[in-house]
Structure 1
Amino acid sequence: MNYKNKANVILGIVSAFFIFSFILKYYIVNNAYTDFIFTVIKAALVGGIADWFAITAIYRKPLGISFHTALIPRNRKKIIEATAVFVENELLSKEAIKSKMEKNNIANKISENIINNKDSINIKTIKLLNEYAEKLDRDKVKEKVKKLKTKYLQEFYDEKRIKCVLSCIYNKDGEKILDDIFDFLINSVKKHEVQEYIYEVMAKLKEENTRGFIARIGISIFEASDSVNLREASRIFHDELLKGVRKLKNPKDYYRNKINTEIKLYLDNLDSQDNKLEKFKNYIFKDENIEKFVDKMFTKSKIVFKDYETEGYFVSKVLFKLFSDVFEEVVSDNEKLSKLCERVEKAAVDILEEKHYIIGKFIRDTLNEFDDKKLNEFIDDKVGSDLQWIRINGSVVGGFVGMLLFVIMKFIYNPFLAPQIRNIF
């Protein structure tokens, strides 16, 4: 039984006792005892009815009386505005939120959270990229790239500008670019598929060069004696190839320096090389090539991150590679990570400064969705129990006050004070 029902039951019981005491006093026996009972019950009934009227008047019009009743519906807009202002300017004020952020050192917590969850962040990024790519309309992407080509790329793609950009980038980060290229080359050569390809080429050469009967007999003898073993030869060749490619990582390597010199020479003569840039621009900016490029970016590709493996789009794989490289570099550098988290915290504060009004707007919009009935139910759900206790207390306190008044009137006022007052007047 809820408190409202309890209050109603108590008021009903008090009303029944009032009728009983009334009949007892005026129709059966009238003495000090029945007078005491009637006075106490009458006061309890008055207290209970008064508090019922007061509590009901908060929500609606009791007994149809409209004078200062239905307070919540009547003041609905004032309640909503006051609530929004209180939350926006007091409970969740700019100063309170900023103080809370500074006190809890949000930047350090963000940093710790990133470090502790960097693998899950990477995996979540893969999933988000795949989900986003899944939702993209390829035809719309193609049209946007074509519009971008017409509006910006052809204008930007000027020979002198491109040459300047490429030369500046290579002159500044040439060694790092070469290292990245050779790292990619090393990882590619290390793959088992390369050794298999070498073996297949050797097997094909063997087949082509041992067509004679005598040659085949000679090769069979050598293979039987382990003098010539194609599988072992391909492995040795693969190891030597990998060793040679790894030497390119040495800044003093002859071939590395030769490649570096050729790249610089190529960039210096880029604008005079038979309009190669212009021809290349015209080629890549063809509509059919743009469509092929977009289709390729949306082909399915295997994405691997540590023990996690999934199938996604090629564009997701490319973007994730860029993200993971930058993310790993930031996470492994405490100074960079600290600066990043401080910027995140500052951005949050700036957003708070600029968009703080949204808190109040959100509360106003939410509460404005409540009609009078819903607002009554909302407030009753939060404080209704306490309000119904007021009704119960009204009957109890009313009865106690009635008892006190009876004692005062019976044992103090009537025998002592009343005669004195009559003598005066």
Structure 2
Amino acid sequence: MRGINFWRISNGNSTTKSYLHNKRIANLILLGSTLCIGLILYLEYTIGKSFGLSMLGYIIEAILIASVADSIAIYALDHRIQIPILGKFTGLIQNKRRELIDGIIVACKTKFFPKEKLVKLICRISITTYLKDLLEKGIISSKNRESGKFLSMIMTKNKDSIAEGTMQALEKYILSIKADKAIVSIHDMAKSNGWLNKLASDLFENLYATVKEYEFRDNLDTAIRTAIYEKKNSGNIFTNTFNKAAYGFLEITDTLNYSELASSIQSAIVEILENIIEEGNRRGNRWSVLESEISKLILKLSQNKKFIKEIDNWKAELVQRSNLKQYTISAIEKMAEWIEDGIITWEEINRVLKNLGFEMKGISPKDINISEWISKIVLIGLDRLIQSGKNVQIEFEKLFEKLIENEYEDCLNIVKEIIETLSDKGLAKKINDVAGGNLQWLRISGALVGGITGIFIFLILAFPVPGFVLLFILALAIIFSKNLRAKLVRYKNEDYLTQTIMKEEAIQQ
């Protein structure tokens, strides 16, 4: 099949106009060739067959067949219909979206988000800053009983081994937490406190800046070439030969322009991101769309059994490597082992003091909220952590590095699924808008090629020797004439299409 030249013209709705313009011409050719076939059959029936009518019949039949075949191929593309009989001939068009997505995944793996870069991207967020923000917003202080039970478990350990006992208790507590439920809880907490929006904005800014870079387009160009090369060399000997021939013809005729395709895909993605920003600004929350997608991804992670299993395996190591031991000790020493319900009443304090030989009468201070104490004490510890935040961040990065090492393929599968979802909703539409005019031009050029083919079929049947000679000369002309090849499969350049559209607009006015 002839290749698709992905380009767009920037003056208003020119792309849409070119699509409608070409579609009208293609439909006119289809209708006209059908009527002409009927007319020729009628003339042959009434006045008899002749050399001229036979030749004209071959040409118009070839035009009709080519027009119908291309129309079916484009309809199958738009509606994702698999056609077994025409699969080999329409495959380059029908599989365009799938190959594009595969190319993006290859680019993600090799250029945009290799494992090292993905770790670096995720770890731009300061873990200590987010933890401190969590505490300052009073999340822990609202959990009185839970905080009390947690401290009660810790303080039952022997004072002489309080450091080790505290870490063991903390490890046991963390291991008892179900990772999937914890992810959902963290998601809900992040969403209600605005963290998700902050994360969405950070990721979106980085993504938007990356996509706009020239390096992105260059890497996409390389990734597409790699994907096409692998496609050409895949399959059994029959499909391998067909793929090499099909892609080789597209490359020789300059219809498969990797750089132009990469540039157009980059422009389409940038436009989608800018539309998201514009829509978000209109709603008053520019990150609402991306925040929603991140929310769905987080909830999906909570259902990923392999990912959850990896988190469970690393929970204990997280405690041992988190460098919190010395700060946890200073906080725990301020607590009492008899805390259970999260509130220390004055009666309980007086009873403990009495057992120690002290008794205070006539004083009724306010009951102590343990969870508020925890928040204040942990904030002190976090301040110290932040002062040595570099070490904490290093451990945080090491943890994510191992997680990504084991889950990288699953992460790419999630990326692929998101891209496919986005392509269903927006990316495919953008690509169709950009390529719409040329998709319809395929029908026009198909009719042209069909007509030429009809002429040579007739000449070879009627005059074999000169027919084959002329066919050989035409083949050489197509191979050595870049301009002729371009005219057969696409508009020569954007200026030509712009002039055509301007003339059409002038006529309409």
TM-score between both structures, scaled by the size of structure 2: 0.35
State TM-score, norm by structure 1: 0.40
Greater C-alpha Rg: 1
